């Protein structure tokens, strides 16, 4: 469906009162700047709507709610006053409910509410319907005093730069959302059922760990570049601030990611309820456990020349540097931001190359499986005849018999790199219909290694059980061969006459 309006800005009136009488209020200036930047990104003027006459004593206007069905996106500008305003909270909740009656609250897993956090307030004070959505924080923390400062165009060069960086992030994300919405609408004649549909394939998924206040600007810079490169970034919603729920959420995000990135600054960071550890340390511990248990790769970055002063942070950094704990699966890097970005880029490229190789290998496997299936359907069976190089001449009668009885016989290779020989052996075990170990002149240690492969065959990635396995005893009799028995494989005695009947019985099981 098409919407009449692109954006509705929900805000508290007091937050738009100018500090200097001759200047515009923060919300008015935000509205003006956003409209210009979106026009530049979209190539058209966005339709942005807000109520400029809003007063704190107004009764909630149902006429506003009635128009929500024709609004694509809401921007909620969160402040302490917003959280205390029944009007503002009701706007957020009503928009959430109206979204569910048309195309849903999220499109391609992106929420239709964008939270702009102008003035810091605790997550539990956010309206419940939008509490789990990630916000755009228009404030920072002074490293020396810990005091929070709001971003503005009028409060100095540093906050002005941060304001424009954050505004650009917000505008780009909104523009991308609106373009996705338009492309879905153009492609399907509507966006019904669009949640999770995806307008393009997602790239590699990266968990960019939440960090302490003084590294947030650096984290935003990294996140911005990763998103511009097409990577999917987690967490993509607000992390809970209770230890047990936090750990569950981080574990869930990490299960989707192939790489986790952790920024360690001078401050220890915020400490969630129910623990004495910071959110930075908890995320690192959960990622270390995930890396030990799976294929998650990790990067931990310490800014060049940083000097942690807090005792808890010094202890945390020392554990990382000494490799005692929390370092599993990670490369620990202390460098400039630009150097770290280069390392991160190299790591991502390496993972992508490995992914491509895996995809190619998977396609080759599919082709091989089809070929084996075609061979099987035509009546031919593949038998892997395993022997030592000492028996290469002695196996010929058995090889000929199997071939003459309609079997494709695969022999091991003996020349080349040892790892390639081993890989070929495993691939043969994975694709064959039956496997026969020919035990003639080889020693018993060789035989034991091959029979152990039979026991481990499922671990090699074979999809179906190998039900036909045999040990063919050949050559001169000895005590070891005469006493040989197996519960797992059929034993065929070929030390005397050629065992035609036993072999035909074996083939009848294919």
Q: Which two tokens stand for residue 81?
A: 């006053």
Do residues 349 and 485 share a domain?
no
Distance CA 382, CA 403 (A): 10
Do residues 254 and 277 share a domain?
yes
Do residues 191 and 265 share a domain?
no
- pLDDT for the residue numbered 378: 53
Q: What is the pLDDT of residues 464-475, one digit of tens each?
A: 888 899 999 999
**Beta carbons within 8 Å of 83's beta carbon, 6+ residues apart:** 89, 121, 125, 126, 127
DSSP class of 242: B
Higher-pLDDT residue of 156 and 289 is 289
Do residues 330 and 427 share a domain?
no
The DSSP code sequence of 455-486 is HTGGGGT-SS---EEEEEE-SS--HHHHT---
Of the residues 183, 200, 217, which one is the last residue of a structural domain? 200
**Which residue, 167, 102, 114, is CA-closest to 138?**
167
Q: Are 412 and 386 in contact, with CB atoms under 8 Å apart?
A: yes
The SS3 call for residue 509 is coil
Distance CA 34, CA 7 (A): 11
Do residues 356 and 245 share a domain?
yes
Do residues 114 and 212 share a domain?
no
> How many CB atoms are located within 10 Å of the residue 137 CB?
21
Q: In the chain, what is the greatest distance between 2 CA atoms, to the nearest angstrom? A: 110
- pLDDT for the residue numbered 199: 38
The DSSP code sequence of 8-58 is EEE--GGGGS-SSTTSPPHHHHHHHHHHHHHHHHHSS---EE--TT--TTP
Length of the chain as a residue count: 510
- pLDDT for the residue numbered 344: 94
Do residues 86 and 148 share a domain?
yes
Range scoring the smallest mean pLDDT among 23-27, 63-67, 319-323, 343-347? 63-67
State the residue range of the domain holding 435. Answer: 379-507
CATH number for the domain that contains residue 333: 3.40.50.2300
Of the residues 184, 200, 216, which one is the last residue of a structural domain? 200
Q: What is the pLDDT of residues 312-356, one digit of tens each?
A: 999 999 999 888 788 998 999 999 999 999 999 999 998 988 888
pTM score above 0.75? no
Distances from the Cα of 314 to the Cα of 108, 167, 466, angstroms: 42, 35, 56
Q: What is the pLDDT of residues 196-246, one digit of tens each?
A: 434 334 578 999 999 998 888 899 889 989 988 889 999 988 898 899 999
Do residues 363 and 385 share a domain?
no
Distance CA 134, CA 430 (A): 46
Do residues 325 and 273 share a domain?
yes
Q: What is the pLDDT of residues 84-106, one digit of tens each?
A: 999 899 999 999 999 999 999 98
Higher-pLDDT residue of 202 and 493 is 493
CATH number for the domain that contains residue 101: 3.40.50.10140
Q: Which two tokens stand for residue 189?
A: 């004649």
Do residues 124 and 212 share a domain?
no
- pLDDT for the residue numbered 22: 81
Do residues 62 and 124 share a domain?
yes
Do residues 178 and 273 share a domain?
no
**Number of domains composing the chain:** 3
Of the residues 200, 219, 244, which one is the last residue of a structural domain? 200
- pLDDT for the residue numbered 217: 85
């Amino acid at each position: 469906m098409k919407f009449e309006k692109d954006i509705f800005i929900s805000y508290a009136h007091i937050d738009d009162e100018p500090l200097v009488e001759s200047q515009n209020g923060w919300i008015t200036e935000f509205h003006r700047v956003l409209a210009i930047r979106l026009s530049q990104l979209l190539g058209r003027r966005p339709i942005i709507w807000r109520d400029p006459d809003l007063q704190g004593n107004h009764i909630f206007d149902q006429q506003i709610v009635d128009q929500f069905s024709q609004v694509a996106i809401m921007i909620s500008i969160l402040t302490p006053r917003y959280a205390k305003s029944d009007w503002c909270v009701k706007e957020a909740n009503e928009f959430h409910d109206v979204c569910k009656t048309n195309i849903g609250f999220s499109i391609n897993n992106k929420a239709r509410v964008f939270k702009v956090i102008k003035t810091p307030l605790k997550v539990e004070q956010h309206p419940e319907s939008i509490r789990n959505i990630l916000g755009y924080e228009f404030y920072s923390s002074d490293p020396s005093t810990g005091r929070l400062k709001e971003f503005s165009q009028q409060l100095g060069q540093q906050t002005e730069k941060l304001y424009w960086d954050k505004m650009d992030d917000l505008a780009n994300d909104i523009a991308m959302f609106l373009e996705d919405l338009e492309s879905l609408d153009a492609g399907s004649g509507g966006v019904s059922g669009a949640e999770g549909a995806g307008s393009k394939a997602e790239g590699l998924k990266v968990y960019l760990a939440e960090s302490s206040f003084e590294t947030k600007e650096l984290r935003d810079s990294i996140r911005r570049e990763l998103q511009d490169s097409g990577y999917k970034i987690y967490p993509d919603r607000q992390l809970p601030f209770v230890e047990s729920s936090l750990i569950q959420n981080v574990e869930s995000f990490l299960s989707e990611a192939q790489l986790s990135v952790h920024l360690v600054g001078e401050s220890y960071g915020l400490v969630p309820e129910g623990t004495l550890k910071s959110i930075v340390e908890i995320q690192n511990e959960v990622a270390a456990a995930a890396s030990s248990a799976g294929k998650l790769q990790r990067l931990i970055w310490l800014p060049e020349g940083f000097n942690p002063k807090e005792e808890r942070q010094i202890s945390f950094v020392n554990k990382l540097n000494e490799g005692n704990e929390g370092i599993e699966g990670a490369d620990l890097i202390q460098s400039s931001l630009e150097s770290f970005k280069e390392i991160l880029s190299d790591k991502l490229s390496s993972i992508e190359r490995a992914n491509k190789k895996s995809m190619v290998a998977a396609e080759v496997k599919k082709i091989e499986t089809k070929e084996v299936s075609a061979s099987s359907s035509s009546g031919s069976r593949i038998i892997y005849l395993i022997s030592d190089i000492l028996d290469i001449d002695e196996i010929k009668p058995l090889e000929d018999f199997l071939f003459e009885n309609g079997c494709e016989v695969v022999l091991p290779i003996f020349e080349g790199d040892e790892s390639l020989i081993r890989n070929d052996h495993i691939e043969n075990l994975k694709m064959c219909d039956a496997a026969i170990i020919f035990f003639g002149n080889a020693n018993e240690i060789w035989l034991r290694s091959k029979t152990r492969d039979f026991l481990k065959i499922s671990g090699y990635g074979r999809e179906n059980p190998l039900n036909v396995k045999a040990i063919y005893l050949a050559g001169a009799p000895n005590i070891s061969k005469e006493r040989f028995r197996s519960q797992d494989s059929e034993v065929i005695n070929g030390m005397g006459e050629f065992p035609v009947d036993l072999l035909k019985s074996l083939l009848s099981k294919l």
